[in-house]
Structure formats: structure tokens, C-alpha cells
């Protein structure tokens, strides 16, 4: 029983870690897209 609970806890930690990594990657991608849009806005001024 303890082994089973331990597996659940480990799986929960892994899920949280993987989820946070995916969120970080998504944020970085969104930042890059926003920066590209800002760069395009700069070009529109000229």
C-alpha cells in the first residue's frame, strides 16, 4: 500500500514538473511571437 501511495506522489510531482516546463516553453514562444510583431510594427512606421 505504501509503495502504491509513493508511486501516486511521484507521478503527481512528475506531472507538476512537466506541466510547469510546458507552460514555460509556451510563454517563451508567446514572447518571441510578440517580439516579432513589435519588430514588424517598427517596420510599418517607415
Which residue pairs from 38-42 have beta carbons closer than 8 angstroms and sit at least 24 positions apart in sequence? none
pLDDT in tens, 2-43: 889 999 999 999 999 999 999 999 999 998 888 877 776 776
Cα(15)–Cα(18) distance, rounded to whole angstroms? 5
What is the per-residue pLDDT for 34? 82
Cα(6)–Cα(26) distance, rounded to whole angstroms? 30
Domain edges within the chain: 1-46
What is the per-residue pLDDT for 6? 93
Whether residue 46 is predicted with pLDDT greater than 60 in this model: the reply is: no
Amino acid at each position: 500500500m505504501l509503495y502504491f501511495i509513493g508511486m501516486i506522489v511521484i507521478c503527481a510531482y512528475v506531472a507538476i514538473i512537466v506541466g510547469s516546463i510546458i507552460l514555460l516553453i509556451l510563454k517563451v514562444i508567446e514572447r518571441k511571437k510578440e517580439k516579432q510583431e513589435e519588430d514588424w510594427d517598427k517596420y510599418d512606421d517607415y
